[in-house]
């Protein structure tokens, strides 16, 4: 009871005793866990390296800037590849996530068992980072843009699939009932009553994912899956920091641009 009576005075406290104890317990537990974790990290850290980090940073920036502007000419092709990895990867993900989400949504799934399989695919795809997918695909189909496209696509399935099936489950039921009552086939019911309701959000999610994928596509090259990440990896390994600076600038501009495009398109849709 937040209000206690002692003699004839009323004491007000924000929480009652049990809640306070639980809150304290929670805080102490969290602090302990964080402390232990910190010990582990700290044990694995060479603190003398950390101590001269500001110096390192200033040297690092000094070597990166001014960037090698001439290197830009060698970046156009990797940039085009990066854009393609993101766009084609998103399209691939969309192509698979679209039917998958109808199998995964409670109100459109043909069978509960199918639903669980679809949900499993979505979860696995989401749990694995695109860079890990890239590692795997480079091992299978060899380095190159194709591995990047597949990596981005495989990661996008889970992201889009999850948001898609959630929006299918949120559709209103009345139009479904009405279209069913006209004697329409199940596919027609889907295309006339569910699809119009979810298309705007599907489009928004896809554009949003494309924007994220541009960012992801800049790094899949680090493990050999094409795009500007290949140049980044080569430049870092060769300690060509002025080239690295140039690459950072290019990535910054491209990602800001894609964010702007995606915001504009989403606005136009809604």
Partner 1 sequence: MLRLQHVSKRYPTGNQALKEINLTVPEGQVVALIGPSGAGKSTLIRCVNRLVEPSEGQIWLRDTEITRLSTRGLRHIRRRIGMIFQEYALVERLSVMENVLSGRLGYVNFWQSWLRRYPQADVDNAFQLLERVGLLDFVDQRADALSGGQRQRVGIARALLQDPDLLLVDEPTASLDPKTSRQIMRLITELAQERGLAVVINIHDVPLAQMYAQRIVGLRAGSVVYDGPPEGLTTAQLTTIYGEEDWDRNRQADPADEDAVLAMVAQDAGQPRPAL
Partner 2 sequence: MASIAPVATSRRWRKPPLIRNPLVRWVTVIGALTYLVLAIQSVTVNPERLARGIQRGQRILAAFLQPDFVSRWSDIQAGILESLTMTVIATVIGIIISIPIGFGAARNLAPLPIYLFCRALITLSRTFQEVIIAIVFVVMFGFGPFAGVCTLVFATVGFLSKLLAEDIEEIDPAQVEAIRATGASWLKLVTYAVLPQVSPRLVGLGIYRFDINLRESAVVGIVGAGGIGATLQTAFNRYDYDVASAILIVIIVLVMATELISGVVRARLQ
Asked whether position 189 contacts partner 2 by CB under 8 A, the answer is no
Beta bridge mates, 216: none
User: Could you tell me which of 191, 186, 132, 185 has the C-alpha nearest to residue 158?
Assistant: 132
Which residues bind to partner 1, rule: CB under 8 A?
Answer: 106-107, 169-185, 187-188, 191-193, 196-197, 199-200
Q: How far is the CB of 186 from partner 1 (least distance, A)?
A: 9
| Residue 11 vs 139, nearer CB to partner 2 | 139
| Residue 219 vs 230, nearer CB to partner 2 | 219
260 binds, among partner 2, partner 1, none (CB under 5 to 8 A by kind): none
Sole window of 68-76, 98-106, 185-193, 253-261 interacting with partner 2 (rule: CB under 8 A): 253-261
For 58, residues 6+ apart whose C-beta sits below 8 A from its C-beta are none
178 binds, among partner 1, partner 2, none (CB under 5 to 8 A by kind): partner 1
User: Could you tell me which of 146, 144, 164, 53 has the C-alpha nearest to residue 101?
Assistant: 164
* Widest CA span in the chain: 84
Q: What is the 3-state secondary structure (H, E, C) of 108-175?
A: CCCCHHHHHHHHHHHHHHHHCCHHHHHHHHHHHHCCCHHHHHHHHHHHHHHHHHHHHHHHHHCCCCHH
Q: Which of 75, 79, 88, 207 binds partner 2 (CB under 8 A)?
A: 88
Asked whether position 144 contacts partner 2 by CB under 8 A, the answer is yes
| Residue 14 vs 111, nearer CB to partner 1 | 111
Name residues contacting partner 2, limited to 42-61 (CB under 8 A). 42, 44-46, 49-50, 53, 56-57, 60
Asked whether position 260 contacts partner 2 by CB under 8 A, the answer is no
Could you list the residues that contact partner 2 (CB under 8 A)?
A: 30, 33-34, 36-38, 40-42, 44-46, 49-50, 53, 56-57, 60, 80-81, 83-84, 87-88, 123-124, 126-129, 131-132, 135-136, 139-142, 144-146, 149, 215-216, 218-219, 222-223, 232, 236, 248, 251-252, 255-256, 259
């Amino acid at each position: 009871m937040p209000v206690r009576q002692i003699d004839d005075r009323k004491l007000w406290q924000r929480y009652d005793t049990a809640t306070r104890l639980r809150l304290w317990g929670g805080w102490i537990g969290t602090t302990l866990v964080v402390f232990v974790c910190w010990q582990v990290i700290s044990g694995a850290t060479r603190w003398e390296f950390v101590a001269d980090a500001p110096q390192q940073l200033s040297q690092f920036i000094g070597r990166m800037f001014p960037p090698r502007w001439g290197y830009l000419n060698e970046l156009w092709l990797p940039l085009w590849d990066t854009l393609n990895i993101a766009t084609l990867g998103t399209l691939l993900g969309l192509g698979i996530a679209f039917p998958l989400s109808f199998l995964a949504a409670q109100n459109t799934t043909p069978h509960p068992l199918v639903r669980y399989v679809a949900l499993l695919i979505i979860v696995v795809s989401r749990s694995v980072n695109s860079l890990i997918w890239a590692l795997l695909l480079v091992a299978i189909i060899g380095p190159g843009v194709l591995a990047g496209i597949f990596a981005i696509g495989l990661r996008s399935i889970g992201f889009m699939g999850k948001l898609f099936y959630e929006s299918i489950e949120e559709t209103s039921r009345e139009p479904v009932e009405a279209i069913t009552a006209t004697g329409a086939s199940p596919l027609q019911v889907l295309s006339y009553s569910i699809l119009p309701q979810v298309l705007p959000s599907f489009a928004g999610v896809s554009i949003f994912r494309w924007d994220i994928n541009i960012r992801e596509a800049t790094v899949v090259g680090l493990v050999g899956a094409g795009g500007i990440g290949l140049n980044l990896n080569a430049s870092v390994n060769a300690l060509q920091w002025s080239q690295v600076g140039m690459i950072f600038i290019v990535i910054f501009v491209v990602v800001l641009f894609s964010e702007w495009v995606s915001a504009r398109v989403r606005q136009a849709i809604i």
